[in-house]
């Protein structure tokens, strides 16, 4: 784009100068004020947003309340108790047998744990143990266990001097009452047990072997379904 320069003829310039000289400073001030007023009039005023255009302030958010569902609180904040000693492990097993809490019982066993059944067969693994308890609970058992001796040994000593992953034997006696098989009368008897439990890396204890029929006296254990 070319720029066109506008110049006044010398005669016109002279006329302007002459008028300015005659009018004096007051004329010049008046013209300057008029020019300023015109400039202000031509300058667009800053637009003030209307109420409809003004963004509304964000509403205060009410804090979300914690869930009050008792079951969810139990799962999140109150997980199942764990055993920190072999004695606690035996106690938890007894409580969960009484409550017929099969999944709670499974949680107390290592994945490859085993149970010795009344015929001395060995039940291995979580799934087989679960099936065993489902069948046994159909007999409405009432079990009382008395631990007589607990011996923890083995494991390894860490840099802090603490021995970890120990193995323990829990020995004692029990009494059991349950419904008879095939609709027979309710039966009761006593026996001895020798269980093997193991300490985990996190310091909790789990069952390795639940043995309610350890050999003793060369006899054959009485027919029963558990302990």
Residues linked to residue 154 through DSSP beta bridges, in sequence order: none
Write down the pTM of the prediction. 0.62
Question: What is the distance between the alpha carbons of residues 56 and 50, in angstroms, rounded to a whole number?
Answer: 12
Percent of the chain whose pLDDT exceeds 90: 53
Q: Which residues contact 220 (CB under 8 A, 6 or more apart)?
A: none
Asked if pLDDT for residue 84 goes beyond 90, the answer is: yes
- Tell me the two tokens of residue 61: 């958010």
Q: What is the pLDDT of residue 32?
A: 45
Asked if pLDDT for residue 181 goes beyond 60, the answer is: yes
What does the chain look like in DSSP terms, one character per residue? ---PPP---HHHHHHHHHHHHHHHHHHHHHHHHHHHHHHHHHSPPPPPPPTTTSPPPPPPPPPPPPP--HHHHHHHHSPPP--SSHHHHHHHHHHHHHTT-HHHHHTTEEEEEEEE-TTS-EEESHHHHHHHHHHHHTT--EEEEEEEEEEEE--EE-TTS-EES-EEEEEEEEEEEEPPGGG---EEEEEEEEEEEEE-TTS-EEEEEE-S----TT--PPS-S--
- Provide the sign of the torsion angle of the four alpha carbons 186, 191, 197, 203, taken in this order: positive
Strands 109-116 and 205-210 turn out to be parallel
Instruction: Decide which of 169 and 12 is more confident.
Output: 169
Question: What is the distance between the alpha carbons of residues 175 and 43, in angstroms, rounded to a whole number?
Answer: 102
Q: What is the pLDDT of residue 226?
A: 46
Instruction: Considering only CA atoms, give the Rg of the chain.
Output: 47
């Amino acid at each position: 784009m070319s720029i066109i320069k506008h110049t006044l003829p010398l005669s016109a310039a002279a006329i302007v100068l002459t008028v300015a000289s005659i009018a004096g400073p007051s004329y010049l001030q008046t013209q300057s004020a008029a020019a300023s007023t015109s400039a202000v009039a031509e300058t667009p005023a800053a637009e003030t947003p209307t109420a409809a255009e003004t963004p509304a302030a964000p509403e205060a958010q009410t804090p979300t309340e914690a869930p009050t569902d008792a079951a969810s609180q139990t799962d999140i904040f109150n997980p199942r108790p764990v055993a920190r000693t072999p004695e606690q492990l035996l106690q938890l097993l007894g409580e969960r047998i009484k409550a017929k809490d099969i999944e709670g019982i499974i949680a107390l066993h290592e994945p490859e744990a085993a149970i010795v059944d009344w015929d001395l067969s060995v039940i291995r693994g979580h799934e087989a143990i679960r099936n065993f308890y489902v069948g046994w609970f159909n007999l409405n058992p009432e079990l009382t266990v008395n631990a007589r001796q607990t011996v923890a040994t083995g494991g390894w000593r860490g840099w802090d001097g603490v021995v970890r992953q120990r193995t323990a034997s829990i020995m004692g006696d029990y009494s059991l009452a349950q419904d008879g098989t095939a609709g027979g009368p309710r039966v009761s008897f006593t026996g001895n047990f020798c269980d093997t439990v193991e300490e985990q890396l996190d310091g909790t204890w789990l069952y390795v072997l639940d043995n309610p029929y350890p050999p003793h006296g060369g006899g054959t254990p009485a027919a029963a379904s558990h302990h």
